A and B are shown apart, each in its own frame.
Chain A
């Protein structure tokens, strides 16, 4: 398996523009997570999905952020409009369910390489 695939790896945009980050999870993983990493706040969970359904979006900072998972192999995180304070590295991660791997294999996240966003 190629692992969790994220695109773009780097994005530079101007304030006010729409940004879309993409993620392809590992095939067979039922859970998908979006994290944001900054120097000031560390690694924060934004939202996670189970079987394409959003389970917890309490970490999404504000309405400018939205995430979708239209099918088991694709998810997007959108920021509209973007602001300089959104500059960060955004990670997507996936995990199998306990039903698929047993309890010892579940609850383990495999991360993508991240998308570094710079908003000018």
Chain B
């Protein structure tokens, strides 16, 4: 069965520290992979996506993610977190037909 796992429900980091949010998936073929961010009271905004090609993808706001097929992972990283990055982050996986499965989200708290 297709699934997405975000093992960390909450993560707290200090401002300026590095960040890695984990995402593991179960999928029968090479999937489309996404990271979205949701600020309180807002809809989801796309951070980055992977369709094919280079396994390290760059996104907005200084985020990047690496697709590792052997580990079925698509972890999100940022070298230096800003207070404005506090939000909930969702990993999503799916086929080319828009039926994406979203993970349960990781809520990021940033300490000043």
Contact = CB atoms under 8 A, between A and B. Distances in A.
Interface string A52-86: 00001000000000000000000000000000000
Number of contact residues on B: which range applies? 20 to 34
B46 A56 contact: no
A111 B90 CA distance: 13
Interface residues of A, number: 21
Contact of B98 (A42, A43, A95, A112): A95
A31 interface: yes
15 contacts: A33-B98, A43-B102, A45-B99, A45-B100, A48-B98, A91-B43, A104-B51, A107-B32, A107-B49, A109-B36, A109-B46, A110-B46, A111-B36, A111-B43, A113-B41
B99 A108 contact: no
A25 interface: no
B41 A42 contact: no
Contacts of B104: 42
A56 B45 CA distance: 23
